[in-house]
Amino acid sequence: MMRDHAMDTDHIDCASAMERLFEFLDGELGPELEVRLRAHLEVCSHCFGQAGFERRFLAAVQAAREAERCPDRLRSRVLEALQREGWTGSDTP
Amino acid sequence: MRKPAATDAHAAFSAVALAAIDDVYRFARSLTRDEADAEDVVQEAYLRAFRSWHTFEMGTDVRRWLFTIARNVFLRSREKGKREVTLDDDGAEIVDAAQAREQWIQGGLDAILERTDLGPAIAAALAELPEPYREAVVLVDLEDQSYEAAAEVLEIPIGTVRSRLFRGRKLLQVSLAQHAMDAGLIPRATPAPSAE
């Protein structure tokens, strides 16, 4: 159930919690707000469920990060261009 | 005559900058949404990075540096001076619609988020995001950049990164739900409440 109490110095209401949820999940919230938002999630089942969904969603996006690697022919093309530019390094660090 | 400083710099370029070529390629792909254009961006970005290598501060985030260069290459590769319309309100209506269908989207997506075959649908949904949102989502969600780093690469305030991420992720959920529905992974949506 959503908690409708207004935001005060100690508590965050649901609207504020949802507004800052992504920052919380991204670890981009300051320490003080993080503690307050975490406290809210512990007592609010609606926001807790929402946080769980967003966390799973972000994990799925991250997992889908294409295992796509730079094609070998592009790597060769870049190296050749660099060599023409005077680069004398090696492709294998 | 051997030039140790240059040799060291070239070796460092190999070890540090070239080591990130997969990430730069992936970022270029997300910017251009076109294989050939992405390859051009990657090549030009690496040439510029090599020419400017002396300005790179070792120990700082090379990916942030390379992403910035790649994005600048991309922007200049488009019609000179003619940026796409990148209004921050773009997509607002879709986000509103998403909120109206929040329950269906979350219910449907929640059931499939752990599927291992979701990658293509997520990639397709990402490719459909309007550019400002796509850039922010790709940098933060796929390339693990902080809000601060994304703001630097995109040359926008952190607050704008925050709002673009929020909208971009919501748009992505709508689009992903649509792709999943089209693929038969989740049931068809019940008609959304009319906005009129």
Here the CATH number for the domain that contains residue B49 is 1.10.1740.10
Count of domains for chain B: 2
- Residue B141 maps to which CATH number? 1.10.10.10
Is residue B28 in some structural domain? yes
Whether residue B149 is found in the same domain as residue B68: no
Minimal Cα distance from B146: which residue of A?
A28
What is the pLDDT at residue A5? 44
Nearest chain A CA: its distance from B85 CA (Å): 26
Residues in chain B closer than 8 A to A59 (CB atoms) = 113
B46 and B100 share one domain: no
More confident residue, B78 or B131: B131
Residues in chain A: 93
> Helix H segments across B82-157?
92-100, 102-110, 119-128, 131-137, 147-154
Question: Which residue, B46, B77, B108, sits at the end of a domain?
Answer: B77
Q: What is the CATH number of domain A14-84?
A: 1.10.10
- pLDDT tens readout for residues A58-77: 999 988 776 678 999 999 99
- Of B49, B77, B105, which closes a domain? B77
Its sign, for the CA torsion B44, B135, B84, B152, is negative
d(CA B185, CA B177): 9
ipTM over 0.90: no
Q: Domain span at residue B48?
A: 4-77
For B34, B86, B117, the CA distances from B170, given in Å and listed in that order, are 24, 17, 21
Q: How far apart are CA B33 and CA A49, in angstroms?
A: 34
DSSP code at position A5:
P
Alpha carbon distance B42, B44 (integer Å): 6
Same domain for B101 and B50: no
Spell out which residues of chain B touch residue A92, defining contact as CB-CB under 8 Å.
14
Worst-scoring range by mean pLDDT, B3-12, B26-35, B184-193?
A: B184-193
Nearest to B50 among A62, A69, A85 (CB): A85
Poorest-confidence range of B77-91, B116-130, B135-149, B172-186? B77-91
In a domain? residue B190: no
Classify residue B188: in a domain, yes or no.
no
* DSSP code string of B15-79: IIIGGGHHHHHHHHHHHH-SHHHHHHHHHHHHHHHHHTGGGS-TTS-HHHHHHHHHHHHHHHHSS
In a domain, B152, yes or no: yes
Chain A, residues 14-73, CB within 8 A of chain B, namely 22-23, 26, 28, 53-54, 56-66, 68-71
Percentage with pLDDT > 70 across chain B? 80
* B134, two tokens: 């796509």
Q: Do B71 and B153 touch, CB atoms closer than 8 A?
A: yes
Q: Which of B50, B113, B166 sits opposite A57 (nearest CB)?
A: B113
Q: pLDDT, tens digit, for every residue of A18-61?
A: 999 999 999 999 999 999 999 999 999 999 999 999 999 999 99
DSSP secondary structure code for residue A85 in this structure: T
Which of B106, B123, B162 is the closest to A64 by Cβ?
B123
Average pLDDT, chain A: 85
Alpha helical stretches, state H, chain A? 14-19, 21-25, 31-43, 45-63, 72-84
Residue B61 pLDDT greater than 70, yes or no: yes
